[in-house]
Amino acid sequence: MSLSALWRCIVTITLIVLVMSTAPISSHEASGQFETANNSVNSAFSSVYYAEQNGGDVSVLVEKLNGAVALIEKAVAENATDPSAASADLSNATAIAEMVSMNSTSVSASGSMTRQLRLYESLGAVVATLGMAGLAYIRGDRVYRRLWLYVYRNHVVKKSDE
């Protein structure tokens, strides 16, 4: 075998090995990215769910998360024709989902605080009502009589047969 033929052989083998090794990696990477994006969205959903259970307003978070879901669906559609665009969409979806997960912590905390405030307001109203009722029961008679006297302070009592 001549030297040029040997070189040609080495180059061909190298190219074949390169093609064989890169093709499965890219497809494996894509499926890994899909899995990562799906898991991120589902994990973010769990955070949003618990934030809502704690009384947080999750409207904005849900909107953002649906944006991430739309990106994943877009990536599924374009994966066969434009894998790099699909990969970018999946990265964006993962980033959005991670941001939603982080933000849901503060939404959850503010929800808990609002709920606690509402509890204190209600309990305060009940205590105030009971206090007023107790006062009215104990001092009601006296207050009523004084009020009556104040209202009728100018009333002149006359004998009916005068």
Binding interface with another protein (CB under 8 A): 42, 45-46, 48-50, 52-53, 58-59, 62, 65-66, 69, 72-73, 118-119, 122, 125-126, 129-130, 132-133, 136-137, 140-141
Report the nearest approach of another protein to the CB of residue 70 (Å): 9
DSSP conformational letter for 155? P
**Distance from C-alpha of 49 to C-alpha of 62, rounded to nearest angstrom:** 10
Report the nearest approach of another protein to the CB of residue 27 (Å): 19
Q: In terms of CB distance, is 5 or 80 closer to another protein? A: 80
Report the nearest approach of another protein to the CB of residue 69 (Å): 5
**Distance from C-alpha of 68 to C-alpha of 73, rounded to nearest angstrom:** 9
> Is residue 99 exposed (0-12), middle (13-18) or buried (19+ Cβ within 10 Å)?
middle
Q: In terms of CB distance, is 7 or 144 closer to another protein? A: 144
Q: In terms of CB distance, is 12 or 42 closer to another protein? A: 42
Report the nearest approach of another protein to the CB of residue 137 (Å): 6
Q: What is the maximum alpha-carbon separation in the chain? A: 151
Q: In terms of CB distance, is 23 or 73 closer to another protein? A: 73
In sequence order, which residues have a C-beta less than 8 Å from that of residue 110 and are 6 or more positions away?
56
Report which residue type is found at 146.
Answer: R
